[in-house]
Structure 1
Amino acid sequence: MWARERAEIRRDESIMYVRGSILYDDGFGSRQYSSFCRVHSSTAFDGKGGFVDPEKPGYNYGS
């Protein structure tokens, strides 16, 4: 990631998100699936910035 891109994300001019899924077997031997999406917010965590739940739940970031 370039410095210009990082600066845009910090100023909330661009969106940075992380999407993923986890597939695992629980303690009872059953297969479990979980998906997640987090969006970077420059105002999160007392202005330090970080990844938070999306403001638009269900919005399909990145597609």
Structure 2
Amino acid sequence: MPLDEQHLDQPGLAVLDITAADEDTARIVMECLEQLWATSGVTPVQRVPGHGGVRARVYADVRRRPGTAD
């Protein structure tokens, strides 16, 4: 997945690519990240033909805690 520069235009913003053995594991990881930082939440999980496991992408703002405003 190509990166969108808009999501990385400031310090504290991150794009996290998650690879897991199964969809349940990927969702648990995204839920845990959501408890730490302001994130894009649980995103769709993709299975890539010919590759093991599943993948997902999460956008995070590590400067903010969940539920906080700017």
Same fold (TM over 0.5): no
Pick 1 or 2: higher relative contact order, CA cutoff 8 A, min separation 6. Answer: 2
TM-score (norm 1): 0.24
TM-score (norm 2): 0.23
Higher normalized helix content (fraction of residues): 2
Larger Rg: 1
Higher normalized strand content (fraction of residues): 1
